[in-house]
Amino acid sequence: MKNPSPFFWSKLALRELLNNRRFSLFFLFNLALGLAGFIALDSFKESLDNHLGQNSQAILGADVALTSYLPFEEKTLNILEAKFPENTLSTRKTSLFTMVATKDQSRLVQITGIEEGFPFYGKMVLKNKGVVDPENMRQSLALSGEAWAYPELLFMLNLKIGGSIKIGEQSFRIADTVIDDPSSSFSSFGLAPRVYLGFSQMEETGLLTKKSRVSYQRLYRLTEGTDLAGLVVKLQNQINNFDGSDSKIRILTHKRAGNNLGRLLGYLNDYLGLVAMIAVFLAGIGAAYLFRNYLVHRFREMSILMSLGATRQQTYRMVLWQLVFLGTGAALIAIIMSLGILPLLPLLLKQFLPHGFETQINLSSLLFALVLGAVGSLVFCLPVLSRIRTVQPLQLFHENIGDQAVNDTFWRQVLSYLPLLVLSWGLSVWQSHSWIVGSAFVGMLLSSILLLGALAWGILALAGKLSQTSGSTMKRLAFRNLQRNRSGAISCFLALALGTLLINLIPQIYQGLQEEVSRPDDFRIPSLFLFDIQPEQMGPLRKTLSEEKVHLNYLSPMVRARLEKVNGKSFEANIEEVAMTREQESRQHFRRHNLNLSYRTELSDSEQIVSGRRLASSYDWDSGKPAEISLEVRYSERMSFKLGDLLTFNVQEVTVEAIVTNFRRVQWNSFQPNFLILFQPGVLEEAPGTFLGSIGGLDSSRRLSVQNRIVKDFPNVSVIDVTRMVGRVLKISDQMVLALRLMAYLSILAGLVVVFSIARHEVEGRLWELNLLKVLGARFSDIQRMIQIEFTVLGIFAGLFGVAVSLIMSYGIAWWFFENLWKWTWQTSLASIIGVTALSVGVAWLATQRTLRSSPLSLLRCA
């Protein structure tokens, strides 16, 4: 006995697919639609990673930088720079957030002092002078004391090139605008446009005091072939040996600078990916349904093959080949579709993208798409594949092929769904870069499917009851069909309900947030937010504000510190450690950055203790005990801190030990000064620091006049217009919501294709029955009405329950993530229910027209 040719089974599989073109096309289109969004996002993410990887040196403007919040000591720098290879180039850079003013306007900006050499990589482009070179930098910034500003600042201050702005104690002429800056980042939400000054001119502003939050940087261009990782280790070891402020020097490599810039977009991409996964899921449901019906009709052919000598394994192999062909084909179509979606993403996410970013389809994305298509279709159809076990060639001697019941044990059925669960979970975790978010997503999706499935089951049972009592024959037949074609009806219901859930969920969450933060008459939200107030400015500032007839609220001290140890163990982050998940990334972020501490005698009305006890009113230095601190509850969860943990802080070179005494929930959207870590009074009062405060109840003209007065009298104090910031945040959120919504529409489109496929298939499967009805005298309109009743019932209930579950989920998410900002907008819910019902009926109508219009004679022939 010989083996068949190597391609025998694959060729046979392909021929069967070609012979069943309609099924194959529906399967391909259905799955491709689900995969398209996912693939487009993967390509987008890959493109972004590539862009950031390739441009990371331009983003930092160097290979590596040393950063400090204090000016570098010459001696310290000499020691560190001795570690660099010869011929390393260096340049200086300083930056801080402050206010700039014109005669009648003022704005928060980020001023950056640079000198010749910056940037070592990438090109900074000015509107008039073109690409920045050492000569025009020297002429304009260093010698003439001019400034280069971002164009939006000129727009905000109603200025033109040549106009003048006051920064600190010095006036600067704006010589040009920066139209391309590779180092620009999204982190300031566009609220603080950048102004470039000459490095030495920064001193003249009078803002570079020890009390200002200035970032000092030394940027280095290394010689070709330098071992960056080795250099970083040497530098870090040396910094660890320093004492005092020198030990706070940080090393920033170009790779990390790139990662930092991409982080926010990464978060958004994660969530877009999860939404796209729902489309994959819906498409998977449709594909599994179509495949199940296809397979049942192929049982006879399988029996014939087995009677001719094919083994069951060979039959499985042939079906697996078919799934691989279909999955790969769907992936190829999805790749073509994603070429249409991909250019839309940079348009939607323009605000968040680095300059010069271009999307491209990468080879890795293509391979991922093909693997996902092939493996995904196998995994989705695995529960259906188990039915092949029931195929018995001896049934060829009887005439009941395809009708045999599947007597799978419960555990076998559960096992057949296990790969699907594992794949979904793996994809979700990978997509969200978070064990927690990914697991929560799959958990919620699974719970929704189970809940909606149970509800669908109940509705179909009810339909069965109604079929015995309700009205006209067609109505009774419609209800009976619903009850008896459960797999089709439940698949339709799930596809519609999950789509509705998704479409409704995103705006539902957003509306709650929007309502809360943009409520104009809510005086809990301040008008202006002040920071960098020096202790000696407190009295004069209060006086100025009383002259303006406003009051400074929630005045809070802020002291910078570094967390060095937790329960005696070092808390320092490894400089080049690669974060695998968003949680790790977040922990690293907190580990690498300084903390802002505060202290207060009473909690503000936006804070609430959730566990532990209140902090003692005053600290006794003679007690020898650690001080008591309160941690924000989410921060403590992220960092895995527990009540009773001993934290060791370096507060301006003074070691302070503190014990975690309670966890607080903070309502961040109150826009009041709030802190992750609060000390009990009596510990930090003597430490050098600044104050924050807020001013409430100002209309737009008063906001401007009060802000201008503060800037005029206290140039170092920074002021944020909270109303403007809220508007800006909402605008950015709008973009995010639009992107998420578009992805959600893709999901509902996938759901509708499922409905179309199922409706068409159900009607074709019932040709004989429909034909009989026609022969018995049913009119076309009667039969059409019967189909419409079925899909209206499915649409209404799917819409209703989809909306209901979305409300429950949005409430849960709002409660958990957004401090209970939840508001039901019944208009959206109602529109969803009506829309989904209409679409369901419309799509079913479209899918069944051709079949229903066939004459009874042709139907008889088919039967």
Partner 1 sequence: MILEIKGLDKSFPQAGHGRVEVLKNLNLEVHEGEKVAVVGQSGSGKSTLLSLLAGLDRQSSGSLRLRGQEISAMSEKKLTQFRAENIGIIFQQFYLMPHLTALENVSLPLEMFGHKDSQERAQEALQQVGLAERETHFPHQLSGGESQRVAIARAIVIRPAILLADEPTGNLDNATGVQVANLLFDLVQTTGMTLLLVTHNTELAQRCSRQMTLHSGTFQ
Task: Answer yes or no whether residue 858 interacts with partner 1 by CB under 8 A.
Answer: no
Shortest spacing between CB 807 and partner 1, in angstroms = 46
From residue 30, alpha-carbon distances to 329, 492, 501, 748, 762 in Å are 11, 13, 20, 12, 16
Task: Answer yes or no whether residue 400 interacts with partner 1 by CB under 8 A.
Answer: no
Pick the binder of partner 1 from 70, 396, 454, 834 (CB under 8 A).
396
Give the whole-angstrom CA distance, residue 500 versus residue 832.
7
Task: Answer yes or no whether residue 389 interacts with partner 1 by CB under 8 A.
Answer: no
Which of the 8 DSSP states describes residue 249? -
Task: Answer yes or no whether residue 5 interacts with partner 1 by CB under 8 A.
Answer: yes
The CA-CA-CA angle for residues 404, 409, 413, to 5°, reads 90
Task: Answer yes or no whether residue 307 interacts with partner 1 by CB under 8 A.
Answer: yes
Which of the 8 DSSP states describes residue 405? P
Please name the residues in contact with 1: beta carbons below 8 A apart, sequence gap of 6 or more.
Answer: none
Task: Answer yes or no whether residue 404 interacts with partner 1 by CB under 8 A.
Answer: no
Total residues contacting partner 1 (rule CB under 8 A)? Answer: 31
Beta bridge partners of 692: 556
Nearest alpha carbon to residue 496 among 850, 841, 234, 184 = 841
Task: Answer yes or no whether residue 834 interacts with partner 1 by CB under 8 A.
Answer: no
Task: Answer yes or no whether residue 306 interacts with partner 1 by CB under 8 A.
Answer: yes
Q: Could you tell me if 498 and 751 are in contact, meaning their C-beta atoms sit under 8 angstroms apart?
A: yes
Give the whole-angstrom CA distance, residue 219 versus residue 251.
10
Give the whole-angstrom CA distance, residue 161 versus residue 155.
11
Which of the 8 DSSP states describes residue 101? E
Give the whole-angstrom CA distance, residue 689 versus residue 609.
26
Pick the binder of partner 1 from 152, 301, 408, 515 (CB under 8 A).
301
Shortest spacing between CB 399 and partner 1, in angstroms = 7
Task: Answer yes or no whether residue 521 interacts with partner 1 by CB under 8 A.
Answer: no
Give the whole-angstrom CA distance, residue 223 versus residue 802.
60
Residue 715: CB atoms within 10 Å: 21
* Region from 16-24, 60-68, 69-77, 526-534 binding partner 1, contact rule CB under 8 A: 16-24
Task: Answer yes or no whether residue 393 interacts with partner 1 by CB under 8 A.
Answer: yes
Task: Answer yes or no whether residue 397 interacts with partner 1 by CB under 8 A.
Answer: yes
Shortest spacing between CB 430 and partner 1, in angstroms = 39
Task: Answer yes or no whether residue 310 interacts with partner 1 by CB under 8 A.
Answer: yes
Q: Left if phi > 0, otherwise alpha if psi is -120 to 50, otherwise beta: which for 469? A: alpha
Shortest spacing between CB 762 and partner 1, in angstroms = 22
In degrees and rounded to multiples of 5, residue 322 shows phi and psi of -60, -40
Task: Answer yes or no whether residue 394 interacts with partner 1 by CB under 8 A.
Answer: yes
Nearest alpha carbon to residue 144 among 116, 172, 107, 184 = 172
Q: Amino acid identity, residue 714? A: F
Task: Answer yes or no whether residue 303 interacts with partner 1 by CB under 8 A.
Answer: yes
Task: Answer yes or no whether residue 19 interacts with partner 1 by CB under 8 A.
Answer: yes
The CA-CA-CA angle for residues 442, 443, 447, to 5°, reads 115
* Nearer residue to partner 1 within complex by CB, 307 or 825: 307
Shortest spacing between CB 845 and partner 1, in angstroms = 31
Nearest alpha carbon to residue 679 among 603, 599, 761, 735 = 599
Pick the binder of partner 1 from 83, 129, 300, 634 (CB under 8 A).
300
* Region from 186-194, 301-309, 607-615, 745-753 binding partner 1, contact rule CB under 8 A: 301-309
Residue 103, CB-side half-sphere exposure with 13 Å CA sphere: 3
Task: Answer yes or no whether residue 304 interacts with partner 1 by CB under 8 A.
Answer: yes
Task: Answer yes or no whether residue 16 interacts with partner 1 by CB under 8 A.
Answer: yes
Alpha helices by DSSP H, listed for 518-537, are none
Residues 632-691 that bind partner 1 (CB under 8 A): none
* Nearer residue to partner 1 within complex by CB, 76 or 303: 303
Cis preceding-peptide flag for 119 (omega within 30 of 0): yes
* Nearer residue to partner 1 within complex by CB, 19 or 546: 19
Residue with tokens 């009805």: 773
* Nearer residue to partner 1 within complex by CB, 317 or 724: 317
Q: Could you tell me if 16 and 301 are in contact, meaning their C-beta atoms sit under 8 angstroms apart?
A: yes
* Nearer residue to partner 1 within complex by CB, 305 or 794: 305
3-state secondary structure labels for all residues of 364-392? HHHHHHHHHHHHHHHHHHHHHHHHHHHCC
Residue 149, CB-side half-sphere exposure with 13 Å CA sphere: 29
Task: Answer yes or no whether residue 405 interacts with partner 1 by CB under 8 A.
Answer: no
* Region from 8-16, 139-147, 448-456, 593-601 binding partner 1, contact rule CB under 8 A: 8-16
Pick the binder of partner 1 from 309, 568, 624, 777 (CB under 8 A).
309
Task: Answer yes or no whether residue 18 interacts with partner 1 by CB under 8 A.
Answer: yes
Shortest spacing between CB 408 and partner 1, in angstroms = 18
Please name the residues in contact with 696: beta carbons below 8 A apart, sequence gap of 6 or more.
Answer: 523, 524, 525, 526, 527, 553
* Nearer residue to partner 1 within complex by CB, 397 or 411: 397
Q: Where are the beta strands (DSSP E) in 773-854?
A: none
Task: Answer yes or no whether residue 293 interacts with partner 1 by CB under 8 A.
Answer: no
* Region from 4-12, 136-144, 329-337, 787-795 binding partner 1, contact rule CB under 8 A: 4-12
Residues 455-494 that bind partner 1 (CB under 8 A): none
* Nearer residue to partner 1 within complex by CB, 305 or 793: 305
Task: Answer yes or no whether residue 326 interacts with partner 1 by CB under 8 A.
Answer: no
Task: Answer yes or no whether residue 399 interacts with partner 1 by CB under 8 A.
Answer: yes
- Give contact residues for partner 1 (rule: CB under 8 A): 1-5, 8, 15-16, 18-20, 300-301, 303-312, 314, 392-394, 396-399
